[in-house]
Every structure is written in structure tokens, then in C-alpha cells.
Structure 1
Amino acid sequence: MIHQAIIRLARSTALIGGFLLVALIIMTTVSIVGRSLGDILHSDFAAHALGGFAQGMRDLGLGEVKGSYELLEAGVAFAIFSFFPICQLYTGHATVDVFTSRLPQALTRHLMAFWEVILTACLILISVQLFGGVQRYYGNGETTLFLQFPLWWAYAASFAASVVTCIVAVYCAIMRLCESVTGRSLLPQV
């Protein structure tokens, strides 16, 4: 029951991050195309060849998406933290197993449990630091340059995803420790 809840939590967080990433890709594409068309419409060639049409398009505001860099920074940070839980659950992080691939399975389970606990501790530390960032930026009221949205919003979104990561990481660490003691596989293997 807990295992299924953790799987649902990790998958739903990854889906949210994935949808956001697709939206960011679309926004970035629209921004790049708009900026390129805006540059063309501001050229002397467009002014002479297209005349009033070029001016009309410029008057409509054709150009890059305002604040696209700010939205991209905030969104990508959240998306990255949204993918951590599913990577943690399915052991999708990068590993180098050149030396461990020939070790006995019992020793490999102990090593996996050890590194799972270390990674969990690191993820908890990152979450604590993100929470500190939320508090700091909430307290000082700093905003982004163009859109003027509070910086703490981006930190809070990333912190929320990192909390989910910590929940999944603690679960995985406990399961890996149980695997090392019992010798049975409890989590999905790579």
C-alpha cells in the first residue's frame, strides 16, 4: 500500500514536471521565433518591402515573450526537482558500475543501501537549503527584473518538489536497507 502511494506520488510529480517542461519548450520556441521575426520587421529591408505591414506587426508587439528567461529559470528548476522522485524510485541516477558489476549480490545490496542513505542525506540537505532560500526571498521581497514576480515563488515550487523527493528518498533508503538485510529485492531494479 505504501509502495503504491510512493509510486503514484513519484509519477504524478514527474508528470507535472513533464507538462511544465513541454510548456517551457513551447514558450521558448515562441519567444525565439517572435524575436527573430521582430528583428526582421525592424530591418530596413522589411520597412521598404513590407511597408505598413511591418509597422503594423511591430505595433502589435510581435517579438520575444516578455520575461521568458525568468520563467525558464524558475520553471526548469521546478522541473528538475520534479524528476528526482521517479529517478530515485527506479534507480535512474547515473551510476558507474565497472567495479561493482562483478561483486557478489549481497555486497552489491550493501553498497546500494549505503549510497542510497548518502544520497538521501544530500537531498534532505538540498531541501533544507531551498527552504532557507524561500524564507530569505520571502523576507526581503526581491522580485524578477521584467515580470516582477517574487523570487520566493520559484524557490517555493522547487522546495515543494524537493519535499516529494525527500519522501521518496527516505522510503527508498529504508527499502534498500531492508534489501541488504533480507537479501530480497523490494524496489524496482535497473
Structure 2
Amino acid sequence: MKAGIERLARGTAVLGGLVLTLVVILACLSIFGRGLNTLGHSGFLPGGLGDALIASGVGPINGDFELVEAGVAFAIFAFLPICQLSGAHAVVDVFTSALPQAVQRWIAAFWECALSAAILLITWRLGVGMEGKIANGETTFMLQFPIWWSYAASFAAALVASIVALWCAYARLREAATGRVLMTDSGGL
């Protein structure tokens, strides 16, 4: 089961990375186009070069901020499962590092369960928000695509995060109870 959870988390992270890469490329192209458009309007270019640049249609990509917003939201949720699985969340263990290993394992299990509950709550509320966006038919301002599409992509990634979070909570509780290491980082231990 662990191998399947790892593949699921890694696959979601790769997909999130691809989307984030496309978002960065989109933003760079839009900024470059905006800069060229500004240069064409500046009067700095000789002869009719500025007018030719403007006439070419160069400019920012229409609705770029809407696509960036949707892509980044998805990427955040897509990276959450691998972060959860690898224990890459911030850990402050100044006081607990001196405690016995068994106590540290139970503390790690407690926080894993708390984080899993938070991820489940976020996933649930994201699903409720998506239902609301579907019901009211809200669209983005510039591109006019339904907002629920962004919610659906983020919700799908959040569902994967929930599955991984539940497995991680189970693994941490089992580690605490048995002392056997099931997760690579073992709660930062």
C-alpha cells in the first residue's frame, strides 16, 4: 500500500510541477509582451518601428492573471501530498528533541493526525465551495471560464492529499504503537 501512496503523491506532484512550469512560462510571455507594447508606445524606437510593433498585436496575454491564479491554486494542492508523505512540513522540536524516542513518536503521531484533520476539513470546504460555484454559474472576468473548473482541479488534488494524509496518520500511529518505522523520515526522528 505504501508504494501506491508514494506513486499517487509523486504523480500529483509531477502534475503540479508541470502546471506551475506552464504558469511561469505564461507569466513571462505576458510580461515580455507588456514590455514590448510599452516600448512601442514609448516613442523611443526610430521611424515607424514603434507603430509596427504595436500593429503586430504584441501585448500582455489576455486573462493571464486568471490562469495564474487557477494554476497556482492547483499546484499548491498538488504539492501537498508529497510534502505530507515526506514530512517536509516545518517542525519545531527545540523542546521535544530531548524527550525519549517513544514520546517523540507519539507527538509526531498526534500532529500527523491534527494535520490530516485540517487537510480533510480543507478538502470538504473546497468541495462545498465548488458546489456553490457550479450552482451560481460564476465565471472569470476576462476569459469567462467557469470558476468551478479551478475549484474542481484543486479539489481533485486535495482529495489525493486527503488520501495521503489519512495513510500518513495511520502510519504514524502504527509507528508510535509498535516502534517500527513505516515512513522514511519517521516524523523528523
> Does the alignment reach a TM-score above 0.5?
yes
Q: Which residue of 1 aligns with 2:70?
A: 74
Give the match's secondary structure for 1:45: coil
Q: Which residue of 1 aligns with 2:146?
A: 150
Matched, 1:185 2:181: yes
Gaps of 5+ in 1: none
Cα displacement string for residues 55-104 of structure 1 (whole angstroms, at most 9, x for unaligned residues): 23222210111111000100000000000000100100111111111111
- Detail structure 1 runs of 4+ shifted over 3 Å in the superposition: none
Alpha-carbon distance between aligned partners in 1 of 2:81 and 2:47, rounded to the nearest angstrom: 52
Q: How many pairs does the alignment contain?
A: 186
Structural mapping, 1:32-181, within 5 Å:
32-46=31-45, 49-51=46-48, 53-181=49-177
Cα displacement string for residues 19-62 of structure 1 (whole angstroms, at most 9, x for unaligned residues): 1111111111111111011011012233xx141x3223222210
Matched, 1:21 2:17: no
Matched, 1:9 2:5: no
Name the TM-score, length of structure 2 as normaliser. 0.96
Alpha-carbon distance between aligned partners in 2 of 1:24 and 1:119, rounded to the nearest angstrom: 28
Cα displacement string for residues 148-189 of structure 1 (whole angstroms, at most 9, x for unaligned residues): 010000001000000000000000000100000001110111
Alpha-carbon distance between aligned partners in 2 of 1:24 and 1:141, rounded to the nearest angstrom: 25
Alpha-carbon distance between aligned partners in 2 of 1:184 and 1:99, rounded to the nearest angstrom: 23
Give the match's secondary structure for 2:44: helix
- Identify which range, 171-180 or 36-45, moves more after superposition: 36-45
Q: Partner amino acid for 2:17?
A: G
- Identify which range, 161-170 or 101-110, moves more after superposition: 101-110
Alpha-carbon distance between aligned partners in 1 of 2:175 and 2:44, rounded to the nearest angstrom: 69
Gaps of 5+ in 2: none
Q: Partner amino acid for 1:35?
A: R
Alpha carbons of 1:74 and 1:24: their partners in 2 closer, same or farther (altered >3 Å)? same
Alpha-carbon distance between aligned partners in 2 of 1:63 and 1:157, rounded to the nearest angstrom: 29
Name the TM-score, length of structure 1 as normaliser. 0.95
Residue 147 of structure 1 and its aligned partner are, at CA, apart by 0.5
% identity of equivalent residues: 51
The root-mean-square deviation of aligned C-alpha atoms, in Å, is 0.9
Alpha carbons of 1:181 and 1:98: their partners in 2 closer, same or farther (altered >3 Å)? same
